Amino acid sequence: MLFSPYTIRDVTLKNRIVMSPMCMYACDREDGTVHNWHLIHYATRAVGQVGLIIVEATAVTKQGRISARDLGIWDDDHIDGLRTLTSLVHEQGAKIGIQLAHAGRKATVAGEIFAPSPIPFDDTMRTPKEMTKIDIEETIHAFQQGARRAKEARFDVIEIHAAHGYLINEFLSPLTNKRTDEYGGENRYRFLSEVIEAVKEVWDGPLFVRISASDYHPDGLKVNDYIEYAKRMKAQGVDLIDVSSGAVVPAKIQVYPGYQVPFAETIRREADVATGAVGLITSGLQAEEILRNGRADLIFIGRELLRNPYWPKTAANELGISLEAPKPYIRGW
């Protein structure tokens, strides 16, 4: 199944291998624009036969960057570079998505940083400003503008980053959202809901949301909470939930091959929504098992694709499948 096509809305992926979003912190000019590194890095994975490449967390506001070297989509000036990137990847037969992100209290850029509540991540990080209603409105608008620019840059998929303790995740979790207004308490989902609505006003292509399915904290969110959120996302027109976990608060996490797959499986079954599995998936057989047993719909590969841009070929060999070579590589494939 790993090498069977997968269609979401009007986009067909040639296989179910997705390059997981991974920050490169490679914007040397610190202006968020695409550099040669990004062009080479992503196009190489397209040559390597990845079906869908999701470009790293890309900041919808300047203050929403994890670091000053993050990729950005907060300005129309970013569109040209991103369009060059999508066209290079398309030329090599892959689809390309972008992860729209805001780092919230985990931003390390100079100046004010923002979060639902004024609580720092840990004692090495700054205390964020508690967002006002105007800050919230402006940020939702920034996600919408990011989506509009992504469309102009010809991305095939948008993924909203609601995981890993960044801004949207901070609104969802009771550990980081202590608000008493209409964005807190019972209404912690409201911010994500409004981001989804705003994005959908300008974007009718495939929409993914990445979540952290567990806070790994006794008072934090657990997979059951995310089943409910996933049902709401599906009702709002989200096509796939990309299921990661953790990083909301400092926590020790026991990791092992496929450790997050049970979350993707549970959400898929209980919320009846397509999911992506990610986290220490490194072999073709492992990926095939996940798909064949209906535990997820797409396989997101992170670090293994940093080590080996031709991982799809490695996985195909393991599964005894003959994978078509990029023409210039036929003699060495």
Ligand X SMILES: Cc1cc2nc3c(=O)[nH]c(=O)nc-3n(C[C@H](O)[C@H](O)[C@H](O)COP(=O)(O)O)c2cc1C
Kindly list the residues in this chain that would bind ligand X in the complex (CB under 6 A): 20-23, 56-57, 99, 161, 163-164, 210, 244, 278-281, 301-304
* 210 annotated as a binding-site residue: yes
- Nearest-5° angle of CA 150, CA 155, CA 156? 130
Q: Which is nearer to ligand X, 85 or 179 (CB)?
A: 85
Name the residue with the smallest CB distance to ligand X.
302
Q: Which residues does residue 53 pair with via DSSP β-bridges, in sequence order?
A: 19, 96
Secondary structure of 49-75 in HEC code, one letter for each residue = CCCEEEEEEEECCHHHCCCCCCEECCC
* 163 annotated as a binding-site residue: yes
Q: Which residues does residue 276 pair with via DSSP β-bridges, in sequence order?
A: 242, 298
Element of type H or E holding 276: strand 274-278
Q: How does DSSP assign 3-62, residue by residue?
A: TS-EEETTEEESSSEEEPP------TTSS----HHHHHHHHHHHHTT-SEEEEEEEESSG
Q: Which is nearer to ligand X, 20 or 61 (CB)?
A: 20
Q: Which is nearer to ligand X, 31 or 304 (CB)?
A: 304
CB-based contact 128:52 (threshold 8 Å): no
**How many whole angstroms separate alpha carbon 260 and alpha carbon 257?**
9
Q: Which is nearer to ligand X, 13 or 101 (CB)?
A: 101
* 20 annotated as a binding-site residue: yes
The CB-of-42 to ligand X minimum distance in angstroms stands at 13
* 126 annotated as a binding-site residue: no
CB-based contact 101:32 (threshold 8 Å): no
* 302 annotated as a binding-site residue: yes
The CB-of-327 to ligand X minimum distance in angstroms stands at 29
Q: Which is nearer to ligand X, 178 or 303 (CB)?
A: 303
* 21 annotated as a binding-site residue: yes
Q: Residue 58 — φ and ψ, nearest 5°?
A: -120, 125
The CB-of-123 to ligand X minimum distance in angstroms stands at 24
The CB-of-307 to ligand X minimum distance in angstroms stands at 10
Q: Which is nearer to ligand X, 166 or 183 (CB)?
A: 166
**Residue 37 CB-half CA count within 13 A:** 15
Q: How does DSSP assign 179-190, residue by residue?
A: --STTSGGGTTH
The CB-of-257 to ligand X minimum distance in angstroms stands at 9
* 162 annotated as a binding-site residue: yes
The CB-of-303 to ligand X minimum distance in angstroms stands at 4
* 164 annotated as a binding-site residue: yes
Mark the binding-site residues, compressed into ranges: 20-23, 25, 57, 99, 161-164, 210, 302-303
- Known binding residues for FMN are 20-23, 57, 99, 210, 302-303
Q: Can you say which residues are annotated as belonging to the binding site for substrate?
A: 25, 161-164
